[in-house]
Amino acid sequence: MDQVDPAEQLKNVSQLKVYKYAYNNAFAEHAGLSEDELEDTGVIAQEVKEVLPDAVRETGDIILSDGQKIDNFLVVNKVIIAIQQFDKQVQTYLRRSRYQCESTVCTCN
């Protein structure tokens, strides 16, 4: 077991791009998604694997009902997305707090 620098890991997570996407029908059927689950928001597993390889799991090839084959399907730990969103909220809060403090008479750290 190796210790990692949490600040460096958070920096890596915060730099990941977040995408809005829609699953194609064949994949949605394979994954058991309902009509209201066809659109999602997330990260690209290949991009995550470059900076946080331990957060991505290889599940092997997938053959969809329409015959499409997805080679070496990758699954990203959803905690990565939650951490990224939390970090953005904290950064927004900190920026607002600094602005409010600078625009009023108070002692700021």
pLDDT digits (tens, 9 = 90+) for 97-108: 776 666 555 555
Domain range annotation of the chain: 9-102
Among 25, 32, 22, 26, residue whose Cα is nearest residue 65? 26
What is the average pLDDT score of the chain?
Answer: 82
* CATH (residue range 9-102): 1.10.10
Among 68, 81, 71, residue whose Cα is nearest residue 89? 81
Amino acid at 33: L
pTM equals: 0.65
CB 21 within 8 A of CB 56: no
